[in-house]
Amino acid sequence: MVPILALTHGLGLMGMSHMFNLTDDALLRKRLSPRSILLVAFVAMLLFALHAVEITGVGLLYLAGTHIDSLEHAMVLSASYYTTTGAGPETLPDGWRIVGNAESLLGLLLVGWSTAFLVRKIDRLQARERDTAEEERRHRLRTGSGYGGHEREVEE
């Protein structure tokens, strides 16, 4: 279960990066705009869907291997373990408790991985804005415009 979910997550992130050209170089060439914000929001929804697929996979495992009687119950149980929000060890039968605990740890890692992925992409988008603002500031200092003309650029 652990390697399958980790591989699924990694492939999902890689697929999103390639599908939407989210490489660092490509993002550094884009401007922060309403369109790029929509792209980030869409990627966030895809990340949610990726986690839902992973939760469904473990839910189906619980349904097939335990005495859980409905898909809904298996999904709620899996989501609870995956997000570490409340399923205790008494909710799974003996022999399955380690699976639930492994799902909790893996869910924590995968949510962290998704967060790092999304933050990195947003940071790359914002880096262009920071670089542009810094270039403009340096140009104003070089030309003496914008500050009364008496400031000098400091060598770094």
Look at the chain and report how many structural domains it folds into. 1
Tokens of 86: 């409340």
Res 24: pLDDT: 80
The answer to whether position 111 is within a domain reads yes
- What contacts 35, CB < 8 A, 6 or more positions away? none
Domain of 111, in residue numbers: 2-126
Does this model's pTM top 0.85? My answer is: no
**Is 149 a member of any domain?**
no
Q: Which residues of the chain have pLDDT under 70?
A: 88-89, 129-136, 139, 145-156
Q: How far apart are CA 49 and CA 156, in angstroms?
A: 46
pLDDT in the model for residue 115: 96
